[in-house]
Amino acid sequence: MPDTLRAATVQLAVGSDTPRLDAELLMAHALGLSRPDMLLRQRDLDVPADFAALLQRRLSGEPIAHITGIRDFWTISLMVTPDVLIPRPDSETLIEAAIDHFRGDVPTTVLDLGTGSGALLLAALAEWPQAQGLGIDASPAALAVAHGNAARLGLADRAAFQLGDWGEGVAGPFDLLLINPPYIARDEPLSGDVLHDPASALFAGVDGLDDYRRIAPNLPRLIAQGGMAAIEIGYDQRDSVSALLVEQGLEVRVRRDLAGHDRCLIAIHPS
């Protein structure tokens, strides 16, 4: 098996930034094992017959998350389908920002606008066992995935989901808002796994700001005093989105992701 993993890594290196990890995840999936278990036992295991077919799917550009149906995010593992955005490490920046904001305190109510797979909401509920949360999405198919993830993680009693249009009609306020809207400009070229994400979760008009314009007016009433909204942005959208939030009377700070890019705007009521 080690030789097979090495050969697969070489093949995957042509089109993947994480070829060894991809090979290991595919092998573990083919074996029905966790990746750590597979790595510990790899010298004693035979290569399963369907590994070659899984490898070919990845070489053709299909995301690992769609092949395995699972994506790790923060401290949880999520079921993922083509109906939802694949959760990415960049979005964990929102959870990090919330942990820093509530250090020494606990958010008891959480709102996730554009919940998709439920990644942000369920990560927050796993982080704060006292919290209750609500996830809103415009896609019934996405909400079905989120419901399944909540049940699988044992969080269904603390996570509610409903069809909706961002914050319209949602009764607040909430201690913590987590928001990862579409923010890619309509004509921006894409590559890699993002090509397999739903277009409705990616594109937001000519300048990528359409959904921020619709979200911002509801935030002052949805953010509780002492609470915060963590809002994901594109690497070059700090000033444009901040201006929309400041227009609503909110104070805004920025948090960078691990690559050093502006990734999360933190919006709070003025002190």
Number of domains in the chain: 2
Shared domain for 120 and 246, answered yes or no, is yes
pLDDT tens-digit readout, 82-99 = 999 999 999 999 999 999
What are the E-state strand segments in 34-86? 70-73, 76-79
Pairwise CA distance, residues 24 & 230, whole Å: 33
pLDDT at residue 230 tops 80: yes
Q: Is residue 109 part of a domain?
A: yes
CB distance 94 to 229 below 8 Å: no
pLDDT tens-digit readout, 140-199 = 999 999 999 999 999 999 999 999 999 999 998 999 999 999 999 998 898 888 988 999
* pLDDT on residue 191: 86
pLDDT averaged over every residue in the chain: 96
Shared domain for 12 and 145, answered yes or no, is no
Tokens coding 108: 């008891």
pTM of the model: 0.93
pLDDT tens-digit readout, 38-82 = 999 999 999 999 999 999 999 999 999 999 999 999 999 999 999
* Domain end residue (candidates: 11, 30, 61): 61
Q: Is residue 68 part of a domain?
A: no
CB distance 155 to 130 below 8 Å: no
Q: Is residue 220 part of a domain?
A: yes
* pLDDT on residue 172: 86
pLDDT at residue 238 tops 80: yes
pLDDT at residue 271 tops 80: no
Query: Would you place residue 100 in the very low, low, confident or very high pLDDT band (cuts 50, 70, 90)?
Result: very high
* pLDDT on residue 80: 97
Shared domain for 99 and 228, answered yes or no, is yes
In degrees and rounded to multiples of 5, residue 85 shows phi and psi of -65, 135
Domain that holds residue 148: 74-268
Shared domain for 205 and 117, answered yes or no, is yes
pLDDT at residue 118 tops 80: yes
* pLDDT on residue 104: 83
* Domain end residue (candidates: 12, 31, 61): 61
Shared domain for 189 and 252, answered yes or no, is yes
Pairwise CA distance, residues 154 & 126, whole Å: 10
Residue 185 CA, chain-centre distance (Å), reads 19
- Left if phi > 0, otherwise alpha if psi is -120 to 50, otherwise beta: which for 163? beta
* pLDDT on residue 179: 98
